[in-house]
Amino acid sequence: MGKADAYQSDYLDDNFRFADQINGALFQGRQVVKPEELEPVETQMFYLGKESAARREVQAVADKARMWKGRLFHILAVENQTYVDYRMVLRNMLTESLSYYKQWKQKKRMHEREGDLGSNQDAFLSGIGRDERFIPVITLVVYCGTEHPWDGARCLHDLLDIDDETKEYVTNYKINLYDCHEHDTFDEYHTGLRQLFEMVRYAKDKEQLGRVIEEKGAGAMENGVKRYNVCKAWEDQRLDGIEEGRKEGRKEGREEGMRQYLVKLVCKKLQKNKSAVVIAEELEEDLSEVEKVLEAQRKVSSYDIVQICKAMG
**3 pLDDT more than 50:** no
* Mean predicted confidence (pLDDT) in 231-250: 43
Q: Does residue 80 surpass a pLDDT of 50?
A: yes
Statement to judge: residues 136 and 211 lie in one domain = yes
Could you read off the pLDDT of 95-131 as tens digits, one per residue?
889 889 988 999 999 999 999 998 889 999 999 999 9
Q: What's the pTM?
A: 0.65
pLDDT at 27: 94
Long-range contacts of 15-18 (CB under 8 A, 24+ apart): 15/66, 16/191, 17/191, 17/192, 17/193, 17/240, 18/64, 18/66, 18/76, 18/78
How would residue 13 be classed by pLDDT, with cut points 50, 70 and 90?
confident
Same domain assignment for residues 213 and 312: no
Number of domains forming the structure of the chain = 2
Residue 170 and residue 276 share a domain: no
pLDDT at 177: 94
**Contact (CB, 8 A) for 181 and 201:** yes
Report which DSSP code applies to 71. Answer: G
Same domain, 285 and 225: no
Q: Write the pLDDT tens digit of every residue in 139-156.
A: 899 988 888 899 999 999
Residue 206 confidence (pLDDT) above 60: yes
Say whether both 91 and 233 belong to one domain. yes
- If you average pLDDT over every residue of the chain, what do you get? 78
**Where in the sequence is the domain holding 285, given as residue range(s)?**
245-313
pLDDT at site 282: 79
Name the least confident of 60-64, 158-162, 171-175.
Answer: 60-64
pLDDT greater than 60 at residue 5: no
Residue 231's pLDDT is what? 44
pLDDT at 77: 66
Same-domain check for residues 259 and 234: no
